Structure 1
Amino acid sequence: MTIKVIGIGLNGSEGLSPHILSLIQSATVLVGGDRHLNYFPDHQGIKVKIQNLNSLISKIKEYQIKQENIVFLATGDPLFFGIGRFLLENFAPSELSFYPHLSSVQIAFNALKIPWQDAKLVSIHGRDLEPLIKEMKNGAGKIAILTDMENSPQAIINLYHQLSLPHHYQIWLCENVGAKNQKISLINDLHEGDTLERVSSLNIVILLKDKDIYKQIKSQDLPLIGLDDHLFLGFPDRPGLMTKKEIRQLILGELGLQQNQIIWDVGAGTGSISVEMGRFAHHSKIYAIEKSAIAVNLIEKNCRNFGVYNVKIISGSATKVLEKLPHPDRVFIGGSGGEMDEILNIIDKKINRRGKIAIALATLENLTQAQSWLNKHGWDYKILHTQISRSLSIANMTRFNPLNPVYIVSANPST
């Protein structure tokens, strides 16, 4: 006789079919947590409360030998982050039969009226937050999160604020899903430091990424340099593809910007560097060179959002447009499209002899290529290798979340 593992929702026996109820009533041994067993106060079989799982398995095996009819009560779908996996580690599949109920995630998405076949499912119940951080930084459109007392909805709100993501999430708190006292709340209005009150321990959190919804920019609140990453519009499919705030500040420092200069931003991407340069050196003229139509649109929007009007966007391949631009005093190369040598050759011909360039590189191969060109052409240069991590407060502890390493090459023609 197989052990029957039956999933139950928060509405207890009311949500079970007559067939499932008959399986439970015919059990001679009923196993479950306090809440599960309380749904069947008049059950005549032996009731075994789940406490220590290892000793529980030994007890169930004893009942197996006695040919008892064993029913194991579980929450929702036993094989969805549930007790089912543990049972399969201790019993052969042929010894178990599973009867799933609706999962909490399924009920929550239906309460929100959101299709969820493309959702990312993350359990931080007794687990590390790293998988959640990865999905949030990657900009997953829908994330369902199973929580616990430590990795709570409050901890998720705090984490969201600390990550300073370049995209915006709706944060939905789903409590007691499937029960009569089910409660679904949008909790975005809470700021870092605010606290949720009286949250049910039976909860999950759903993150839904908004499209084209970003925080309104108030110019009077902005610093001269070092704009937060989340203020910029980014690529919808590659939300992390942006020169980060800390790296931008290093690049600006290496370039040594002054007023009334001609500045090229080659491979401008989202325009984050151009915006920073345009705000800081507001009497200079910045040329943002970018061949991607999507990126050009982002640069236009970011410049407009930040009120930067001294950036001229040049759409096209750098090797085809740079020759036509005014001679630069400063050049930043954020992307070369595989044409590093060709771009540097043009810069070598056009840059003012007292000019400077800075190149941001992510790989050793590109660094070697740039270094080889600079050596061959007799330029003076130095290299910064940056490895920056941002602190994250998790529960009562602090950990560091690393940014990708970046090589910053700053160079000038030899005089």
Structure 2
Amino acid sequence: MSDEARPKLVILGIGDDGLAGLTEAARRLLAGADVLLGAPSVLEQFDDAPGRKVVLEAEMPGALAQVREALKAQSPVLVCGGDPLFYGVARYLCDRLGKDSFTVVPHVSSMQLAFARVKESWEEAYLTSLAGRPIEAVVDRIRTAEKVGLFSGDDHTPSRLARALLDRGIDYFRAYVCENLGSPDERVTQAELSELIGMDFSPLNVLILVRKPNRPNQASRHGGRRLFGNPDDAFAQSLPSSGLITQAEVRAMALAQLDIRPSSTVWDVGAGSGSLAIEAAQLASLGMVYAIEPEPADFALIQANAEAFGVPNVKAVAGRAPEVLAGLPDPDAVFLGGLGRQFDLLLGEVYKRLHPGGNLVVNVATIEGLYSAYQTLKTLAAPVRVWNVSIARGIEQMDTLRFDAIAPTFLLAVTKQAQTGR
């Protein structure tokens, strides 16, 4: 039998308004179905449909066997809520039985309806489902998001989610709980996270979180501290520069090349929120780290992060390099992560002040910056060690593993030779 002639199962999305919200074409599919699969709450809306009703098992392996059996019928239809390909059953079935076995007819997702009700765009929102997943699986993405759309589960009601977020220091979102969307008893509740605690909502709800204006990302309070390579969310970061922090993996590589000793004096030039300076201070426990940063907002974050990590040997220095460097003691190690237009001059000045045997590490994000830094460093020392750092982090999504790439970056490092003074 050819692919065109082989019977296909239709996965049909419906809204909370049931048959009334379906198009005429969708109604014809239901009327012509000889087998109708779905959850009990869905099937009871179609008692008048002529097809044989099959209650879909809640566990996916059992449901998969039912769908395989239904594919033997002439016109099978599986009915589910909203868009079957948006945190619905369609992706699971297509992955295991092949896309050619199905036709998907979507309805408006309840997530889309929820954002429409609160009049917020969702094109850049972090969207996910917590059904069967712990809050820890998504909390770090929530922490740094501007907007969040969550399908809650039986174990994660809006009240419990609010408590979990507040316990982790995430208190800077306005919350909207959208219940029974498309039904006569539809309701939208706007509240502070603290106000959601103890409130009851329909199981059919979507929780939307919208970050309040001008609120920085808060540092993660869970888990122990690492000596270096702490997760990015362990540091408070300013907006809109969130995501420009030296990534944990790049930070670890840079610290290895800096070869920091317990008594080292370290400069972090262009320190941002101070993530590298703080980890350098943990390594240089008997030394001192100077975090140079011209932006007032980031300067304050360096101090806050240093206090949170308990590293009194980090000194935040307000100002621009190289001018502000004159009053600092000569370093044993220097990290430059925020090069400006005159970085040729800056590299030369920093290298001149570096103690013999010390290491200079530069982080640049562009090809142009890489070329210029490499050419300048070659005139100062040899060899120049260079890395193109491209990293993808594993992300579990539903029952699959995918990888999210972080922005590629470049590291360059040189050692000031003790015997030549260069």
Under TM normalisation by the shorter chain, which class is it? 0.5 to 0.7
SS state at 2:292 partner: strand
| Structure-2 residue corresponding to 1:130 | none
Are the aligned partners of 1:361 and 1:367 in contact in 2 as well (CA < 8 Å)?
yes
| Structure-1 residue corresponding to 2:208 | 206
Q: CA deviation at 1:233?
A: 0.6
Amino acid at match of 2:148: I
Amino acid at match of 1:386: V
**Pair 114,212 (structure 1): closer, same or farther in 2 beyond 3 Å:** farther
| Structure-1 residue corresponding to 2:147 | 142
| Structure-2 residue corresponding to 1:59 | none
Are the aligned partners of 2:268 and 2:337 in contact in 1 as well (CA < 8 Å)?
yes
| Structure-2 residue corresponding to 1:10 | 16
Q: CA deviation at 1:236?
A: 1.9
Q: Does 1:177 align with 2:181?
A: yes
Equivalent in 351, 354, 359 of residue 351 of structure 1? 354
| Structure-2 residue corresponding to 1:230 | 233
Q: What is the CA deviation profile of residues 180-203 of structure 1, one whole-angstrom value per residue up to 9, with x for unaligned ones?
A: 4979899x9xxxxxxxxxx96x65
Q: Does 1:315 align with 2:321?
A: no
Structure 2 CA distance, aligned partners of 1:324 and 1:228? 33
Q: Does 1:116 align with 2:120?
A: yes
Task: Give the TM-score normalised by the residue count of structure 2.
Answer: 0.60
Q: CA deviation at 1:275?
A: 0.7
Equivalent in 279, 282, 298 of residue 279 of structure 1? 282
Higher relative contact order (CA 8 A, sep 6+): 1
Structure 2 runs not aligned, ≥5 long: 1-12, 25-29, 54-69, 84-106, 130-137, 194-201
Structure 2 CA distance, aligned partners of 1:228 and 1:124? 21
Are the aligned partners of 2:143 and 2:218 in contact in 1 as well (CA < 8 Å)?
no
Equivalent in 354, 368, 373 of residue 365 of structure 1? 368
**Pair 333,215 (structure 1): closer, same or farther in 2 beyond 3 Å:** closer
Q: What is the CA deviation profile of residues 48-84 of structure 1, one whole-angstrom value per residue up to 9, with x for unaligned ones?
A: x9x99xx99xxxxxxxxxxxxxxxxx9999xxxxxxx
Q: CA deviation at 1:124?
A: 7.8
Calculate the aligned-residue CA RMSD, in Å. 5.4
Structure 1 CA distance, aligned partners of 2:367 and 2:144? 27
Q: CA deviation at 1:328?
A: 1.2
Structure 1 CA distance, aligned partners of 2:31 and 2:355? 84
SS state at 1:331 partner: strand
**Pair 120,374 (structure 1): closer, same or farther in 2 beyond 3 Å:** closer
Structure 2 CA distance, aligned partners of 1:167 and 1:341? 41
Structure 2 CA distance, aligned partners of 1:333 and 1:395? 39
Q: Does 1:304 align with 2:310?
A: no
Q: CA deviation at 1:367?
A: 1.5
Are the aligned partners of 1:166 and 1:230 in contact in 2 as well (CA < 8 Å)?
no
Are the aligned partners of 2:148 and 2:209 in contact in 1 as well (CA < 8 Å)?
yes
Are the aligned partners of 2:293 and 2:319 in contact in 1 as well (CA < 8 Å)?
yes
**Pair 253,176 (structure 1): closer, same or farther in 2 beyond 3 Å:** same
Q: CA deviation at 1:251?
A: 1.0
